[in-house]
Amino acid sequence: MRIAVAGATGHIGALTVAGLEGGGHDVVLISRSLGVDGLTGAGLDEALEGVEAVVDVTNTAATDRAEVVASFGTITRNLLDAEHRAGVRHHVLLSIVGLDRVEGNAHYAGKREQERLVADGPVPWTIVPATQFHDFAAMVASWTERNGAATIAPLLVQPIAPSDVADILAEVAVGEPQGRYPDIAGPEPQDLVDMARRTTDVRGHRVRLIPSWSGLFDTSMAGNVLLPGGRARIAPTTFDEWLAAGAP
C-alpha cells in the first residue's frame, strides 16, 4: 500500500515509517523539514498522489490554548481537504486517552479539535487514543529544568512504549477505518515522578526532581483521569524493559 505519515520525522512518526517500510509498504514522508507544510498546505497535493491511507502524528510546539487549537485545527483541515481531493480512503489520527476528562490543558484542547474535525470530516477514519509514552516523564521534567532542578506533576499514568504505539498505528493504517479505536496503553500503572527519576538515572542525567502541580498539569489530571478504559488494548513492553534498553 502507499501510505503517508504526516509528522514522519517526529518521535512516533519515524518509528511508524520504519514499521510500515519494514512491512513492504510504499511510505510518503510529510513534514516541514521535508518541504511539506500542513499549516500552509504547501506540497500536500503532490505528496498525497496515489496515497490510500494517511497517519497523522504531527505535533505543535505551541503552549497558548488558542494557538494550539488553531495549529492542530489548521493542519487537520488542510490534511483532510487534500486527502479528499486525492481520494485517500483512511485517515488515522494518534490522539490521547482521557481528552474529555481534562478541560484546562491547552494541548488537550488542540487534540479535541483534531478529533472533532476528523470525526466530522470527509475521509473515513480511525482515532487511536494512547496513554503517555515511556519517555513522557523525562520530557516533562526537561521543560522546567533550571540550575539542576525540575518540577514535575505526580500524575498516575499507564505508559506505553513508543515502538508499541508505532506498531499499532502501522497495523491500523493497513486495515479498514474503524472509527474510535479502543484506548491503547502499556501493561502497568506508574507514578510520573518516579518514572522521571528512573529515566534520568538510566540516561546518566543528574537533576533534582520536585513534585508539584504548578506547571502545565494541574490537579484536574490527578487520580484515575489519565488511565485507559476497561476495553483497552494493552501493549506488551513494560517501562522496566524500556529502561533496560537504555530509555531510547
Ligand X SMILES: NC(=O)c1ccc[n+]([C@@H]2O[C@H](COP(=O)([O-])OP(=O)(O)OC[C@H]3O[C@@H](n4cnc5c(N)ncnc54)[C@H](OP(=O)(O)O)[C@@H]3O)[C@@H](O)[C@H]2O)c1
Residues that bind ligand X (CB under 6 A): 6-13, 30-33, 36-39, 57-59, 75, 94, 96, 111, 130, 132-133, 136
**What is the Cα–Cα distance from 131 to 243, expressed in whole angstroms?**
18
147 CB-contact burial (10 Å; exposed 0-12 / middle 13-18 / buried 19+): exposed
DSSP category for residue 26: E
**What is the Cα–Cα distance from 74 to 68, expressed in whole angstroms?**
10
- Smaller CB distance to ligand X: residue 105 or 147? 105
Instruction: Report residue 127 as a C-alpha cell.
Output: 482515532
Q: CB 206 → ligand X: shortest distance, Å?
A: 23
- Smaller CB distance to ligand X: residue 132 or 151? 132
Q: CB 63 → ligand X: shortest distance, Å?
A: 13
User: Which residues neighbour 228 within 8 Å (Cβ) at sequence distance 6 or greater?
Assistant: 97, 131, 158, 183, 184, 185, 234
- Smaller CB distance to ligand X: residue 49 or 148? 49
- Smaller CB distance to ligand X: residue 58 or 200? 58
**What is the Cα–Cα distance from 89 to 134, expressed in whole angstroms?**
32
Residue, CB closest to ligand X = 10
Q: CB 166 → ligand X: shortest distance, Å?
A: 9
- Smaller CB distance to ligand X: residue 94 or 147? 94
Q: CB 89 → ligand X: shortest distance, Å?
A: 21
Q: CB 64 → ligand X: shortest distance, Å?
A: 16
| Strand duo 125-130 + 190-191: pairing | unpaired
